[in-house]
Structure 1
């Protein structure tokens, strides 16, 4: 278990400023009558915009429409064997109601037979939107092939797609109207797992007269949700639609899931779910069910996965296509975050007063990178190798932040600058001059291995900054840096992209569990030689950057 930082520098946050700001905002209300404000709001609302129905009003409207379903079916010209089943209802500001129906024929579900009836405020039907224009009519409801044949075909289809442990739940009779002329068919749902470990829900439609496969689709769906994060602004999240409920479950990135521990300290917790696929509010909350921290964690996991895939071609933490999972709301007032190999998961505390979750983008990248280290060099988490382990997470966490290109959390060489652990707005660590945090080492010495790993990491963090950007004063993305050197030399950087490639190559190819700083110098020189050549400018820059932090 590798925590984000050592615990002995913990501080208490002052809240007086926040209280004062709240009072100031309360005095900024525009004057005017309530009626005038209401009129302005009404005028700004388009007549075709949907209104928010209360739960009781929605239920009442659904029941009303279902009671009228038989009459509606006649009015829109459906046949005697067809019936409508209400699925959803939307009411516009002008009173128009849009009722979504599923259809049955002879008691069988009609797949592809759904429709929407549009009704005016006065109750007059104004139109129908149908999934199919074909009339629903079949000669017989008696199949010519057995259900078992349809199941066998469905299992074969699933296995051909790479499904593992596939199992059919039985074939049910349906009317297939999704394409062509409606026919009697079987629908078989195959469970198990897809080839990437994602749960399988393959629906196979088989013609009940000929045995021909008519259609297939995957029932485990990906959706694009909106995350209103605390640190990264409004972002897109890949989620999963299960029935009518969205899950914070990314099947496109190895099945990463985000769970709520709700102040617990063990177990998995409960998977975050939502009705409208909008996660969080963008503001801090002390609630143990708050989605905002979950949105940050899910976004961090998604960006970290993409960073490794795009930058190094690495397919997940173990490079096997399997995603880890995240847990938020760990314990109460827990001011830390950690990676745990035993659960293959990331865990985030909510920070001081449970309102400062440690779920910023670079922290997420940092934590998952501990998993990458564990599954590559396996750097022992103590002494100099422990410092290299921590630095690796800082280096790749920084890489994730730059990779994301998020305007609310721009890339920088500061670690944890968003989470305000120190309570005064300062970062947790500085890569250009690590000693600015009061404990980290700028340069190697024979005693550096005696430091806490979060402080001995400074040597490698400093090396990486110098290799990327060079020494001296400069401003990058609005942040000012001034990186010194042990030997007074001037180091010219080769750019972050090349520096990342060199560190990754060294970690995955040339470092071992016991690598110390001298060994890290050799490993990165070997990596630079392999990538760019032993006489290249990149190779020479690696040597110069290590000498600048007193590793020779």
Structure 2
């Protein structure tokens, strides 16, 4: 089945069953020892097997009905044996969107507590759809088609074309309100600026009402040696074939970088070099952007490994790959779970590549979030999703500590995507970008996620650095609080440890700002003690952005 739309060229679209459940596992620890990838993979398998074996007992303890089943997604075991088992749920064999939960057990398997994306029953009133799969596909495609040529705000670009093939799959939608039988369809296309689009829509199986839409292509708003456009002179781990060097790093999961040569499709051509000296630092050398991308992937890998013991985006020791020189004049960069890859455009006139380090860390963190809490990319959970990427993109930048890209709390400050030298976002006072929220209000959830993220970005800055005027690495900041309080920071490393544990242990797909406060307080109690200075700082920082 293929539907042609009057709006332009038709691209393929496929229906997926709730998207494949991806699993990862890790050990929560503040300063992990280096672990061999094979040993880590074996350990990961053992933890996931443990979580799978505990599913029946956890289900009984939680009162899971006979038609429900827990499917392991992730698992973390603390040093004292405490278990945090993350599950998706199915009902009558159908994936339940919003059915995810985390079960917290002691070392003996006794359930201590649990965090659910939704409370109450996940059973829909009926398991018989009133609409056919063809009707559901038409409804989903029509909904996307209605947005063609429309951009809702300056951070969003309109679709230039969409199309649909294949039949949607039945799911249970439980993420908001009464559980309903629904269809899930992925509609693919190309945005007006050349970015590929893959929108996952959930539609009511009785009425065709659009219940949720989620863009799966996440964008930024926007021992060889390398010389990159933004990273400067850096070391690179490469692969020697016996006759040439490849821009491929076997020590970091085999991650590599390819040249798309201004195309928008394909897996690209792997970069090779005769002397293992890559790039000139000049944009005119195509290898320079490739150096930025390869180093960015390595720096992100190293940050997650050294800080949290996480090997790769999925935690499975497999490296993602990077694609540079995407399209012509493409002013963006994006992460895709589908190709498990990062993609960078060359910017205006193909002279402003989007390969800055915090952009790389930001985009790849979307993959980490997808494989842990799975924060829905809309409303307050969408703001938390975006903020998580800003937080860890910034931490990657501080961790790398490059002379040419001085670490700061500014997002995308070097790529000049606004054309006036200003960054995309400011963490100390997010409203300086003209749209982001400094603090929570009841209207925050209706903002675009790049603006609602300001609340969490501001919280993180206050927790790490405190309030008021200060200069860090030559950059001036002046961070206010919504309640007029004066705050002292606990340091960015402790703040990041708290956020990561909250993300991987306590947050679920529907976590909102109130839930994020609870999750980070639980994480702070785990790491530093209930009532500790760090715990109290978390509470005070949230109050400083009006999350009480």
| TM-score above 0.5 | yes
Displacement after TM superposition at 1:383 (Å): 1.0
Does structure 1 retain, via aligned residues, the 8 Å contact 2:437–2:453? yes
Alignment pair present for 1:486 and 2:485: no
Aligned 1:431-446 pairs, distance under 5 A: 431-446=427-442
Question: 3-state SS of the aligned residue for 2:383?
Answer: helix
1:381–1:387 Cα contact (<8 Å) kept: yes
- Partner of 2:313: helix, strand, or coil? coil
Tell me which residue corresponds to 1:16.
none
- In the alignment, is the contact (CA less than 8 A) between 2:155 and 2:450 conserved in 1? no
Match of residue 237 from structure 2:
238
Q: Hey, what's the Cα distance between the residues in 1 that align with 2:517 and 2:354?
A: 32
Partner of 1:324: 320
2:519 aligned to which of 523, 529, 536:
523
Mapping for residues 65-464 of structure 1, pairs under 5 Å? 224-285=223-284, 290-464=286-460
Q: How far apart are the structure 2 equivalents of 1:429 and 1:299?
A: 23
What is the DSSP-based 3-state SS (H/G/I as helix, E as strand, rest coil) of the residue aligned with 1:338? strand
8 Å Cα contact 1:385/1:516 also seen in 2: yes
- Does residue 502 of the first structure (1) align with residue 501 of the second (2)? no
How far apart are the structure 2 equivalents of 1:307 and 1:276? 28
2:479 and 2:473 mapped to 1: Cα distance?
Answer: 16
* Structure of larger gyration radius: 1
Q: Give per-residue Cα distances to partners, 1:189-233, cap 9 Å, x unaligned.
A: xxxxxxxxxxxxxxxxxxxxxxxxxxxxxxxxxxx1111101111
Separation of aligned partners in 1, 2:465 and 2:152? 28
Distance 2:493 2:389 in 1: 16
Match of 1:8 among 154, 160, 163: 154
Alignment-derived partner of residue 532 in structure 1: 528
- Residues in 2 aligned to 1:339 and 1:458: alpha-carbon distance in whole angstroms: 21
Q: Tell me the distance in 2 between the aligned counterparts of 1:6 and 1:502.
A: 34
What is the rounded CA distance, in whole Å, between the counterparts of 2:231 and 2:432 in structure 1?
A: 25
Measured in 2, the distance between the counterparts of 1:255 and 1:414 equals: 30
1:466 is the counterpart of 2:462:
yes
Residues in 2 aligned to 1:306 and 1:423: alpha-carbon distance in whole angstroms? 32
Structure 1 vs Structure 2 CA RMSD? 1.7
Give the deviation of 1:6 after TM superposition: 9.3
2-side partners of 1:260 and 1:382: how far apart? 33
2:537 matched to which residue of 1? 541
TM-superposed deviation, 1:445: 0.9
- Normalising by structure 2, we get a TM-score of 0.60
What is the CA–CA distance in structure 2 between the aligned matches of 1:6 and 1:246, rounded to whole Å? 46
Q: Distance in 2 between matches of 1:413 and 1:279?
A: 29
Return closer, same or farther for 1:334/1:10 CA change in 2, 3 Å cut-off.
Answer: farther
Is the contact between residue 10 and residue 421 of structure 1 (CA under 8 Å) also seen in structure 2? no
Deviation readout 1:53-86 (Å, 9 max, x if unpaired): xxxxxxxxxxxxxxxxxxxxxxxxxxxxxxxxxx
1:474·1:481 contact (CA, 8 Å) conserved in 2?
Answer: yes
Aligned residue in 2 for 1:511: 507
CA contact (8 A) 1:387 1:453 kept: yes
Following TM superposition, by how much is the alpha carbon of 1:263 offset from its aligned partner in structure 2, in angstroms?
1.3
Q: Distance in 2 between matches of 1:346 and 1:325?
A: 6
Q: Judging changes above 3 Å, is the alpha-carbon distance between structure 1 residues 6 and 347 closer, same or farther for their aligned structure 2 residues?
A: farther
1:467-505 C-alpha deviation (Å, 9 max, x unpaired): 000000000010000000101111111000100000000
- 1:443 aligns to what SS in structure 2? coil
Maintained 8 Å contact 1:326/1:347: yes
2-structure distance, mates of 1:517, 1:390: 13
Instruction: Give the distance between the partners of 1:328 and 1:399, measured in 2 at CA.
Output: 23
> What CA distance in whole angstroms lies between the structure 2 residues aligned with 1:363 and 1:398?
9
Contact 1:303 1:404 in 2 (8 A): yes
Q: Deviations over 1:318-360 (max 9, x none)?
A: 1111101111111111111111111111111111111111111
| Preserved CA contact (<8 Å) 2:294 2:322 | yes
Query: By how many angstroms is 1:317 displaced?
Result: 0.8
Q: Which residue of 1 aligns with 2:121?
A: none
Secondary structure at 2:236 match in 1:
strand
The Cα offsets for residues 125-162 of structure 1, whole Å up to 9 and x where unpaired, read as xxxxxxxxxxxxxxxxxxxxxxxxxxxxxxxxxxxxxx
Residue 29 of structure 2 is matched in structure 1 by none
Contact map agreement 1:328 1:349 (CA 8 A) in 2: yes
Aligned-pair CA distance for 1:7: 7.1
Do the aligned partners of 1:414 and 1:431 also contact (CA within 8 Å) in 2? yes
Superposition deviation, residue 243 in structure 1: 2.2
Unaligned runs of 5+ in 2: 1-18, 20-150, 158-222
Q: Distance in 2 between matches of 1:9 and 1:322?
A: 31
Distance in 1 (CA, whole Å) between partners of 2:331 and 2:381 is 25
Q: Deviations over 1:111-131 (max 9, x none)?
A: xxxxxxxxxxxxxxxxxxxxx
Does the Cα contact within 8 Å between 1:337 and 1:346 map onto a contact in 2? Answer: yes
Higher relative contact order (CA 8 A, sep 6+): 2
| Secondary structure of the structure 1 residue equivalent to 2:334 | strand
In structure 2, what is the Cα distance between the partners aligned to 1:458 and 1:230?
Answer: 29
TM-score (norm 1): 0.59
After superposition, the C-alpha distances for 1:259-284 in whole angstroms (9 at most, x for unaligned) are 11111112211111111111111012
Per the alignment, in what secondary structure is the counterpart of residue 257 of structure 1? strand
**What SS does structure 2 have at the residue aligned with 1:291?**
helix
